[in-house]
Amino acid sequence: MNSTRPPLAQPPTQSPVSWQTIFWTLIPLAISAMSQPGGRVCGLPSRYRTYLRCSPLFCLADVAAIVTRLGVISGYHSLPFSTAVAVVIHERYTDCATTVEINEGESHASESLEKMTWLRWLWFLLGTLPPAIKLMSMRGVGWVQAWGMMFLISWMGNELLIL
């Protein structure tokens, strides 16, 4: 007897995302995080901030340090949140004012970008947000999405702190 059973439905095969797509999606997120005027990163001198922020792990650790410090100052020391923000900003930017450039002939392009808030926000809206949305819509790249979000959360945390 010939039974007519429908063939088993094959699950759709997902084509993996190419490494080139992932690479060029993470680059704008990393550049945005690196070009912020964030002062000290994880308590280290501010002259290393650009190099440290190219790692998503340092970005996440820095945001966690900011949130923890704000919580300790607000909760444990019973200070208002606005005062806690002022204390954290003062702690992060203390060595920025006292740092002396060793090589004065060096280009200060990254420093000028850090001082232009409107340019950082424009870069974020036009150059960073679309790749972040694209990255979040990808499937099967969970770790890459986590790295991208570490950069994005770092950018947002630092911008909220300095606003």
Q: Spell out the residues 6+ positions from residue 47 whose beta carbon is closer than 8 angstroms to its own.
A: 99
Its pTM stands at 0.78
Choose among 115, 112, 95, 101: nearest CA to 40.
95
Q: What's the rounded Cα separation, in Å, for the pair 149 and 154?
A: 8
Q: Spell out the residues 6+ positions from residue 40 whose beta carbon is closer than 8 angstroms to its own.
A: 46, 49, 91, 92, 93, 94, 95
pLDDT in tens, the chain (163 residues): 566 666 666 655 565 789 999 999 999 999 999 988 888 998 899 889 999 999 999 999 999 999 999 999 999 989 999 999 999 999 988 865 554 444 444 455 555 666 788 888 998 999 999 999 999 999 989 999 999 999 999 999 999 988 8
Sign of the four-CA dihedral 28, 31, 33, 35: negative
Q: Are 38 and 48 in contact (CB under 8 A)?
A: no
Choose among 84, 64, 61: nearest CA to 72.
84
Q: Measure Cα distances from 8 to 5, 11, 15, 29, 63 in Å.
A: 9, 9, 21, 42, 49
